[in-house]
Amino acid sequence: METILPSRALVPALIGDNYNLVTYDPRGVSNSGLVLDCFAGNTEARAAFDRVHRTGVANVSSTSVQEQYYSSSIYGDYCNHAVENGSPYGYYVTTPANARDILTFVEAEAAAAGRSPSDAKLWAYGASYGTTVGVTFASMFPDRVERMVLDGVADADGYYDNSGRANVEQMDEAMGSFSTFCHAAGPEACAFWGPTPANITARLDGLIRQLEDSPVPISGLGSKALPTLVTVSDLKALFILAVYNPLTMFPDMASTLHQLESGNASAIAGKFAGLANTIDSRFAIQCADSSRTNKLVTLEDYKGFVDYAASKSKYLGDMWTIYIDTILCRSIRPQLPDSMVFPKPVVGLDKPMTYPILFTSNTIDPVTSSARKMSSQFPGSVVLFQEAVGAYFQGIVPPANITCAQEYFPFKGAPM
């Protein structure tokens, strides 16, 4: 609900004026029940864990991978203790349970309208994790899907086994687009402008090397700021925030990079610490979902994940592993009934659904780029790149693998 309410004015543009949009908070999230607070309100313990565990990008030192791996067990200890001592159903928040809740909502709405609950079907739009919810629902209840649009598609198989490798495939392409868009925008629109995209990229790479070799101490004297050390982890935290939303964040990133290049390291001070991402509801869901199929358990598993991510993305691979931090799942021990566990793999029926799923995606998606993969697992489904979902709700799917032209660009609509 916190996602859709601020954007409710955009809903008519997304689905048209002919539909009502019903949204909800999944189990354990925001306003829904089964809330798990692993640290039971102990903010000092939570902050201490973050300091011990979140030491920087995964290869910031020769021991950082080991430190992140072994410290992750602290989080599991706290979460397991919280479940055993006050939140006995804290892990009953899995995605299959979420899918069953959705079916309950669909049937209840049909009953309230005087229709047969057993014939009720879901009309759904899901993005990011919502795409995993969508394909889970479609796998469990294929005959209960009326229309389904899944946008910014996550690799559901990688989600359920906690491998997360598909997420890093296009990160460097996304970072590369910054140089292209910045150059095209011109010096008035992009504060980090250069005469060529290659020049912008070279200066960006130079800032990375500079902070790797010489972190910048900031005393905080003469201001209200506390002492800190600006490192390459702070710079890469800036990157990962920007690639999630280039339209709004690339201009801000350009301004920050300009300040950093001009000698103002305080422009990125505290960026990495500000990424603290241990939201208990998120890990309760993901760790419960992967509890029987987790591929990220041993130190060698984690090293392999770090090495793979770094090999795929020189800009964000080493940041991604600690940012998503799914190594925290290794010591979380849910005791779940079979009904709450998803039986892999994620697949549709052998024959197409009455109305096939429409998967949509940007042509370059730094995190959720698995539209083609997931479509291949649902016969008859269609992949649409960029936008244009309106006709689908009328029961018409576009041609397969169509790509729509980009209409909006970072840096105030700068043309390519």
Q: What is the pLDDT of residues 17-74, one digit of tens each?
A: 777 788 888 888 888 878 899 999 999 999 999 999 999 998 878 899 999 999 999 9
pLDDT higher than 60, residue 387? no
Rounded Cα distance between 227 and 266, Å, is 11
Rounded Cα distance between 207 and 315, Å, is 12
Q: Residue 167: pLDDT band by 50, 70, 90 thresholds?
A: confident
pLDDT, residue 391, reads 29
The values of phi and psi at residue 114, to 5°, are: 80, 15
pLDDT higher than 50, residue 394? no
Residues with Cβ < 8 Å from 381, sequence gap 6 or more?
348, 352, 356, 357, 358, 359, 374, 375
pLDDT higher than 50, residue 178? yes
The values of phi and psi at residue 384, to 5°, are: -120, 120
**Are 286 and 26 a contacting pair, CB within 8 Å?**
no
Mean pLDDT of 272-282: 86
pLDDT higher than 80, residue 175? yes
Q: Residue 260: pLDDT band by 50, 70, 90 thresholds?
A: very high
Identify the CA nearest to 316 among candidates 167, 160, 137. 167
- Burial of 35: CB neighbours in 10 Å, binned 0-12, 13-18, 19+: middle
- State both tokens at 121: 């079907």
pLDDT, residue 17, reads 77
In this structure, what is the dihedral angle of CA atoms 198, 199, 205, 207, given to the nearest 10 degrees? -160
Q: Residue 161: pLDDT band by 50, 70, 90 thresholds?
A: very high
**Are 288 and 328 a contacting pair, CB within 8 Å?**
no
pLDDT, residue 395, reads 47
Task: With residue 322 as reference, give the H or E element that holds it.
Answer: helix 317-324
Cis peptide before 345 (omega within 30 of 0): yes
Of the chain, the percentage scoring pLDDT greater than 70 comes to 88
pLDDT digits (tens, 9 = 90+) for 350-367: 666 778 899 887 765 565
Residues in the chain: 416
Rounded Cα distance between 372 and 382, Å, is 9
- What is the Cα Rg of the chain in Å? 23
pLDDT, residue 45, reads 96
Mean pLDDT of 399-411: 60
Mean pLDDT of 272-299: 92
pLDDT higher than 60, residue 403? no
- Burial of 350: CB neighbours in 10 Å, binned 0-12, 13-18, 19+: exposed
pLDDT higher than 80, residue 416? no
**3-state percent helix, strand, coil for the chain, nearest multiple of 5:** 50, 10, 40
Number of H helices, E strands in the chain: 15, 7
pLDDT, residue 415, reads 44
pLDDT, residue 389, reads 29
Of the chain, the percentage scoring pLDDT greater than 90 comes to 61
* Whole-number average pLDDT of the chain: 87
Rounded Cα distance between 195 and 116, Å, is 65
- Report the SS3 class of residue 153: strand
